[in-house]
Amino acid sequence: MHGTVWRSFGIHLVRNPKIGCSHLVVTSGMEDKPPRLLILYASQTGNALDVAERVGREAERMGSTGVVLSMDEIDAACLQYENILVFVISTTGQGDIPDSMQVFWRFLLQRNLSQSWLEGVNYAVFGLGDSGYQKYNFAAKKLDKRLSDLGAKPIIGRGLGDDQHPSGYEGALDPWLSSLWNMLNKMEPTTFSLENIDLAMKILDSPKFQIIYHVAEKMQSQLSATSVVPDLKYVEMQIENARSMSPQNLGHDRRKPHCLLQMIMNKQLTKVDCGRDVRHFELETLSSDIAYQVGDVLEILPSQNPVAVEAFIQRCNLNTDSYITVEPKSVQTGIPDISVSRTPIKLRTFVELAMDITSASPRRYFFEARTLYVMSFFATAEHEKERLLYFSSPEGRDDLYQYNQKERRTVLEVLEDFPSVQMPFEWLVQLVPPLKTRPFSISSSPAFHPNQVHLTVSVVSWMTPFKRKRSGFCSTWLSGLDPKEGVQIPVWFNRGSLPPPLPSLPLILIGPGTGCAPFRGFVAEREVQSRSGPTAPILFFFGCRNEENDFLYKDFWISHAQNDGVLSEEKGGGFFVAFSRDQKKKVYVQHKMQDQSQRVWSLLSAGAAVYVAGSSTKMPTDVFSAMEEIISKESGVSQESAARWLRLLEKASKYHVEAWS
């Protein structure tokens, strides 16, 4: 291949003048370097990135070169020059592709690409989805078919991870990866050696990141020079600095917090001691205006329990007052590293903001066989070493599942369970999962609640098989905040799966439980719009267990359903609530929809859009089935025709679902 070549750390970036794209070639200065495995991911919440990095790590252990890139980091025109590709794709919303895949996908859909364009290219696809959605893993299925249509050859059948599986997406990932490595070993036995995996597991290599320690006195003097920086700005700088140095976030999450919000209200919506704790939070900013739309999502970076942070620091014998920077030892992404000037940060601050040590759901790779081998290497007690080695073996997989996934142990708990393990901080930084943001649907309207953001959050708790109480990390933290203390909460605003509707668009909203959150914003927004002109009607179906215990925002809905409000019958709308446990036979939102089938069909016939939000277990599927029955009954068509009608509604972007586990 001819073109301009940029050499850096053994990586050539070759620009091919024929196709006008940059083609990455890993050479390490050797022309006979075996073919690399290019792993392309499209992630919305970070899970696809987790899987892609795991594939890359395992490829390296086999002796191959695993290059992990986001789809928005590569020119799709270069795919034809690859030999082996692995795609890891999340499905969002109603079968939508992630934002980072948009440009890549548009290129693949070009009509001028022939059926042999990808001839000679071998590929595998793993999808991450939720079977609670109608279009389960739709993005992965579409990509798989398109690659095949363009002449690429599948190495193995596509893998489909399901959030509804007891083990999550990993229930499908483990056997899929095993099949992938076995097939690649048959195709390229020297490049993908199964023997190398066994060998790599038994040799402790050096960590891929290094900790640089800085003289505390010198740092104190430098920091005193920045004392003029306003407090809020300094907090933002600390968050950005810590998270940009996190190895798992390196190059992927260098976003500055959009702003810092202060909680001004923490109110329990459910009846005390009813068995459920749903909270209404109101947040506001003191520094700048808040810009968002109804239907948007707020990501929150929770604070970890300082007692647990201190316990982690003491357990690992760390110097809390030292200042550090975290630097990669070599290029890990397959592209030249653009050096970033990093400001030293206190070790304690780095742990607090970048290392997830207290969440009840540590990322899987902390329990990968390789990590357990690393822990066993540093274990001085023989029985602990044996147990870690057992967990890392195929024979110990079921027991590891019981120990980890079922009990949802935190990183701190695992380290406390193996007290003789003393890993250097370099290894801890590499292996401990990053502290992730948590997304919540916004339940306010910027027009109705200027300069505020409202959230409707269920405070989650459950019992493990061994009767240990677990609590949702972020929801529990939020519920414990006192608005009087003025805690600053770092947040990011993102587009959700529910686009804001025009005032002229009739709406059918279905939101049981905390699924009502975005629709509280929709209704409030339309109320403001109705003050300046006519607006289309809204039908809203809400559901909860008991009218007395968990009728969320009861006064709000009723007030807008009366006196010519936007939910009133006078305006062509309506508010209908299903109390599932206030009678012997359970009643859900889909039953209320069928009771009002004429109203639903009337609005659908008038061009209404359907919005569904709430639990992803059965509700979205049950609502879709109820819609099919209503359309079939009221229009006189078959169930199959009604289903096709709804599919067309989806294609026209008039059927939206936002669901969560």
For the annotated binding site, the residues are 43-48, 90-93, 163, 408, 438-441, 514, 580-581, 586-590, 622, 660
Q: Would you state the structure tokens that stand for residue 456, as one six-digit string?
A: 């409707």
Residues tagged in the binding site annotation for FMN? 43-48, 90-93, 163
Residue 229 burial (CB count, 10 A):
13
Tell me the C-alpha distance between 91 and 613, whole Å. Answer: 16
The residue whose two tokens read 């739309």 is: 293
With a CB cutoff of 8 Å and minimum separation 6, the contacts of 382 are none
CA distances from 10 to 4, 28, 39, 148 (A): 15, 4, 19, 32
Q: What is the residue-wise DSSP string for 402-469?
A: IIIIITT--HHHHHHHSTT----HHHHHHHSPBPPPEEEEB-S-TTTSTTEEEEEEE--EEE-TT--E
Lay out the sheet containing 11-16: strands in order across: 5-8, 11-16, 21-26
Residues tagged in the binding site annotation for FAD? 408, 438-441, 660
Q: What is the residue-wise DSSP string for 351-417?
A: HHHHB--S-SS--GGGGSHHHHHHHHHT--SHHHHHHHHHHTSGGGHHHHHIIIIITT--HHHHHHH
- Which amino acid appears at position 284 of this protein? E
* Closest of 75, 59, 86 to residue 152, by C-alpha: 86
3-state secondary structure of 262: strand
Check if the beta carbon of residue 155 is closer than 8 Å to that of residue 184: yes
Tell me the C-alpha distance between 285 and 280, whole Å. Answer: 17
Q: Hey, which residues does 86 pair with through a beta bridge?
A: 39, 124
Q: Which of the 8 DSSP states describes residue 205?
A: -
Residues tagged in the binding site annotation for NADP(+)? 514, 580-581, 586-590, 622
